[in-house]
Amino acid sequence: MGCHQCRSPRVAASLLAVGLTLCLALGLPAHAQDQTIAQMVHTSWTGKDGAPQSIDGLAQTPDGMLWIGSAAGLFTFDGLRFEAFNPRSGSPSLPASSIESLMVSKQGDLWVFFFHGPPACIHDGTIRFYDHAEEGAITVLDHPQQDSDGAMFAVLNWRYLVRLGSDNVWHKIGNPNGRTGDLQGVFIDSQNTLWVIENNLLYRKGKGDSAFTATDIHEYGNARFAENRDGTFWMIEQTDGPGAENLQRVGAAGHRLFAPRVKGQLTDMVVAADDSVWIQTDRGLRRLRLDEITPDSSHRSAASPDVFKVTTGLTGMGVGRLLRDTDGNIWTGGEAGLNRFQHANLVPAFVPPKIDVWFTCVDGQGDAWVSTGDGHLFTMTSAGATRILSGGGATNLFCGTEGRILELLL
């Protein structure tokens, strides 16, 4: 019998053995941990659980309720039950048209936008339609946005930039190029800058500006946007064009910034609490780590892309919608149902390679140590396990005084 002895470096963690896998109790706040999608707690709901299919809209109202827009109508989900929405007595009903998107206003009301026809606003269970536009009939109203003052903006019939007036009529406010063009996206950032894509070119209009300014950034097809904490934002395009880039990052002044290439057709995205970027693609979920979105490639990890597919548990592929809720959880809805991803308090640290026996101890400084049955000695941090020694067959592990670690070997 032999003994390995060493002094403890300064590391801190908590340890728990679960089944045959050693898991690490992470001491960092959940939003600060870089967990892969597979390490997170994944919960899914399909048709057998009552979840609607063909989900095209997700939103969360201030009361915490999750709202789901689908081809079959509007549903609520409280974490246990899915229920079709029924308005209060005396309120008009929602049309049978498929729902294209949902939006929660700054007042806490739920707005419902359809693939055809005017939008509806739901307040305290009562529905009101905003079906008047100075340009005439509303064939479709999409790309809704709201500024810091509460004013609602949208695109009318694919061609007119409009704002909802105090008379509850959608009024034209003038397209960026001064003429009637094809509008493919609208976004209002946290600084109240209005961004509009017209005829495949991105324009910006800052708060207080009298006119739009063209950027040198082109975008093809209907666009979706997501803002970072630093005021920059991401754009994805849903069709290809000459020189098209399916993911772009834009600075507050309208300049193009570094953006990685993502394979597949992109349909939606959201920025997570840890500043990673989640993207729904036709190949599954793709999560961009912070090292992937920095322009300095010297800090880029060699780790494989963080992807989650049907083969790893995702409920369905194809077009999907993403939502980050008030707790920082990521939701995705698609053709086959609903998924939720939560940061895990425990994630796998390692699986002993040969003998599924291990010994643990915590020294006087609060440092955690692990010895496996085939003689490997590890220190544990929130990032995982670091091997210190190898060899022999461990029969016990002791954390002694003065930071000394004793590993008994056969």
What does the DSSP assignment read for 165-184? Answer: -TTS-EEE---TTSS---EE
pLDDT tens string 80-101: 999 999 999 999 999 988 999 9
The answer to whether the CB of 109 falls within 8 A of the CB of 123 is: yes
pLDDT of residue 350: 64
| Distance, CA of 171 to CA of 207 (rounded, Å) | 19
The pLDDT, as a whole number, for residue 252 is 94
**Beta-carbon count within 10 A of 105 CB:** 15
Tokens of 390: 């190898």
Q: Which residue has the higher pLDDT, 136 or 228?
A: 228
pLDDT at 346 over 80: no
At 287, the pLDDT band (50, 70, 90 cuts) reads very high
Domain with CATH 2.130.10.10 in the chain: 30-344
State the Cα–Cα distance between residues 266 and 263, nearest whole angstrom: 8
With bands split at pLDDT 50, 70 and 90, how would you rate the model's confidence at 409?
low
Q: Which pLDDT does position 375 carry in this prediction?
A: 73
Specify the range with the lowest mean pLDDT, choosing from 173-177, 182-186, 365-369: 365-369
Read out DSSP for 93-140? Answer: PPPSSPEEEEEE-TTSPEEEEESSB--EEEETTEEEE---BTTS--SB
Q: Find all residues with CB under 8 Å of 199, minimum gap 6, and list them.
A: 177, 181, 182
Q: Tell me which range, 32-41, 261-270, 357-366, is most confidently predicted by mean pLDDT.
A: 261-270
Mean pLDDT of 264-290: 93
pLDDT score at 32 = 46
- CA 127 to chain centroid, in Å, comes to 29
pLDDT of 46 above 50: yes
More confident residue, 357 or 239: 357
Integer Cα distance of 80 and 158 in angstroms = 38
Q: Which of 27-31, 89-93, 234-238 reaches the highest mean pLDDT?
A: 89-93
- Is the pLDDT at 271 greater than 90? The verdict is yes
What integer pLDDT is reported at residue 393 of this predicted model? Answer: 65
More confident position, 6 or 135: 135
Position 156 pLDDT exceeds 50: yes
| Separation between Cα atoms, residue 170 and residue 157, nearest integer Å | 12
For residue 49, the model assigns a pLDDT of 94
Percent of all residues in the chain with a pLDDT value above 70, rounded to a whole number: 82
pLDDT band at 360 (very low <50, low <70, confident <90, very high): confident
CATH number of 30-344: 2.130.10.10
pLDDT band at 311 (very low <50, low <70, confident <90, very high): confident
Average pLDDT over residues 201-222: 94
Contact status, residue 228 vs residue 273, Cβ threshold 8 Å? no
Average pLDDT of the chain to the nearest whole number: 85
Residue 221: per-residue pLDDT: 87
Residues with Cβ within 8 Å of residue 115, at least 6 apart in sequence:
97, 98, 99, 100, 140
Is the pLDDT assigned to residue 162 strictly greater than 80?
yes
Place of tokens 């949208």: 154
Instruction: Tell me the average pLDDT across 164-175.
Output: 96
The three-point CA angle 368-373-377 to 5° equals 40
Q: What is the pLDDT of residue 332?
A: 95
Sheet with 41-45: strands ordered across: 41-45, 338-342, 330-333, 321-324
Q: How many CA atoms lie within 13 A of 98 on its CB side?
A: 9
**Residue 349 parent element (H or E):** strand 346-350
Task: Give, rounded to a whole angstrom, the gap between the first and last alpha carbons of the chain.
Answer: 4
- Residue 198 buriedness (CB in 10 A; 0-12 / 13-18 / 19+): buried
Helix/strand number for the chain, H first, E second:
0, 38
Task: Indicate if the pLDDT at residue 10 is higher than 90.
Answer: no
Q: pTM for the whole thing?
A: 0.82
Q: Report pLDDT for 173.
A: 94
